[in-house]
């Protein structure tokens, strides 16, 4: 069986590159109408040009207070409903705890957690109406094993807890809420780490922690996000699905 999103509307944040872009493309390929959210308008426009189905791009900075409300207004104005919300956008400001700045902590918690929560909140009634679902893109960093990622790890830990809490709150509305927690995935998010520690060094050494012996691709994560968002996962809610090549297996 294949995931089928024909006639469905999916909002994907962080759709301008990496995992969000791969997710939006897969949703479109499976029939969804997509709402692409990120700051980089040029990238969103060029992705949209390749979409098969009707789509909308919303170039907006999620750190702005009013962003969730604006995204909802534009999406509903265009499509009249929403079936799937993928909270994927995130920032990672790698800071050792003894050098932590309030600016980086606030930005990380705001974009990665608070606005994901607010997007769930502003779209709640629309999701109740369609018995839709939410997929939050978390991280294995939520386990806290990474180091120098305090704010990022905490934001993802919070997102996991939010996922479980909302899944309980909204189960009787027929709305499922799940999360996908990637491990090492080759995207632009790694560029600051490559600059700091050397790309070759990071690529070779970090992968030693992965039993499957390779970095993940954005498409491999998108496969799981789309599965969770589809009717194939109709009996699944409140789950944090790790997609990490076995990295955190115990
Ligand atoms: P990425 O390539 O850095 O993409 C991040 C996306 O978020 C971009 O589309 C970016 O778009 C958007 N974004 C960031 N800040 C934003 C803001 N203030 N307003 C609006 N959009 C914003 O990262 P990725 O690796 O694909 O990560 C996607 C998700 O997977 C994130 O939740 C990340 O935590 C998670 N994850 C990734 C990995 C990994 O190894 N790559 C591992 C675990 C979890 P603009 O810059 O255009 O705004």
Report the residue among 38, 94, 206, 209 best suited for mutation to probe ligand 1: largest number of ligand atoms under 8 A from its CB. Answer: 38
Cα 111 from Cα 39, distance rounded (Å): 12
Specify the ligand 1 atom closest to the Cα of 216.
40
pLDDT the model gives residue 94: 85
Beta bridge partners of residue 180, listed in sequence order: 137, 241
Q: Over the range 118-130, which residues count as b (16 or more CB within 10 Å of their CB) and which as e? A: bbbebbbebbeee
Domain 9-187+217-237 - what CATH class? alpha beta
Convert the pLDDT of each residue in 64-115 to its tens digit.
Answer: 999 999 999 999 999 999 999 999 999 999 889 999 999 999 999 999 999 9
For residue 14, the CA-to-ligand 1 centroid distance in Å is 5
Largest CA distance in the chain: 50
Do residues 83 and 10 make contact, with C-beta atoms less than 8 angstroms apart? Answer: yes
Q: What are the percentages of helix, strand and coil residues in the chain, rounded to 5?
A: 50, 15, 30
User: Given this model, what pLDDT does residue 138 score?
Assistant: 98
Tell me the Cα Rg of the chain.
17
Q: Which residues contact 106 (CB under 8 A, 6 or more apart)?
A: none
Range 162-189 average pLDDT:
98
How many angstroms is it from 172 CA to the middle of ligand 1? 31
pLDDT of residue 147: 80
CA distances from 184 to 44, 143, 208, 234 (A): 24, 14, 11, 28
What is the Cα–Cα distance from 155 to 136, expressed in whole angstroms?
Answer: 12
Residues with CB under 6 A from ligand 1: 14-20, 38-40, 61-63, 88-91, 111, 137, 139, 182, 184-185, 187-189
The residue nearest atom 23 of ligand 1, judged by CA position, is 189
State pLDDT tens for residues 115-171.
999 999 999 999 999 999 999 999 999 998 878 899 999 999 999 999 999 999 999
Question: What pTM, to 2 d.p., does this model score?
Answer: 0.98
In 3D space, the residue among 185, 181, 219 whose CA is nearest the CA of residue 25 turns out to be 219
Distance from residue 100's CA to the centre of ligand 1 (Å): 21
Tokens 């800071």 identify what position? Answer: 95
Please give the pLDDT value at position 250. Answer: 67
> Per-residue pLDDT tens for 31-59?
999 999 999 999 999 999 999 999 999 99
Burial status of residue 248 (CB atoms within 10 A of its CB: 0-12, 13-18, 19 or more):
middle
Catalytic residue among 79, 152, 170, 215: 152
Dihedral sign for Cα atoms in the order 38, 39, 43, 44: positive
Instruction: Read off the pLDDT of each residue in 200-220 and give the average, rounded to a whole number.
Output: 97
* Cα 88 to averaged position of ligand 1 atoms, centre (Å): 6
List the structure tokens of 221. 């994560």
- Which residue lies with its CA nearest to atom 6 of ligand 1? 14
Q: Is 235 a catalytic residue?
A: no
């Amino acid at each position: 069986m294949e995931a089928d999103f024909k006639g469905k509307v999916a909002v994907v944040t962080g759709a301008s590159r990496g995992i969000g872009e791969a997710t939006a493309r897969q949703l479109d390929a499976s029939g969804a109408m997509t709402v692409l959210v990120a700051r980089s308008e040029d990238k969103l426009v060029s992705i949209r040009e390749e979409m098969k189905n009707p789509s909308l791009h919303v170039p907006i900075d999620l750190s702005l207070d009013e962003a969730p409300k604006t995204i909802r207004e534009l999406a509903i104005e265009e499509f009249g409903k929403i079936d799937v919300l993928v909270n994927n956008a995130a920032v990672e400001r790698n800071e050792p705890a003894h050098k932590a700045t309030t600016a980086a902590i606030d930005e990380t918690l705001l974009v990665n957690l608070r606005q994901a929560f607010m997007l769930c909140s502003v779209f709640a009634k629309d999701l109740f109406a369609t018995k839709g679902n939410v997929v939050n893109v978390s991280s294995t960093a939520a386990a806290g094993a990474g180091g120098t990622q305090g704010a990022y790890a905490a934001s993802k830990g919070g997102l996991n807890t939010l996922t479980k809490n909302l899944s309980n709150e909204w189960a009787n509305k027929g709305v499922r809420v799940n999360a996908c927690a990637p491990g090492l995935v080759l995207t632009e998010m790694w560029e600051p780490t490559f600059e700091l520690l050397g790309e070759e060094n990071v690529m070779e050494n970090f992968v030693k922690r992965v039993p499957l012996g390779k970095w993940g691709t954005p498409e491999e994560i998108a496969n799981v996000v789309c599965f969770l968002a589809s009717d194939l996962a109709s009996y699944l809610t409140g789950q944090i699905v790790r997609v990490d090549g076995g990295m955190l297996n115990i």
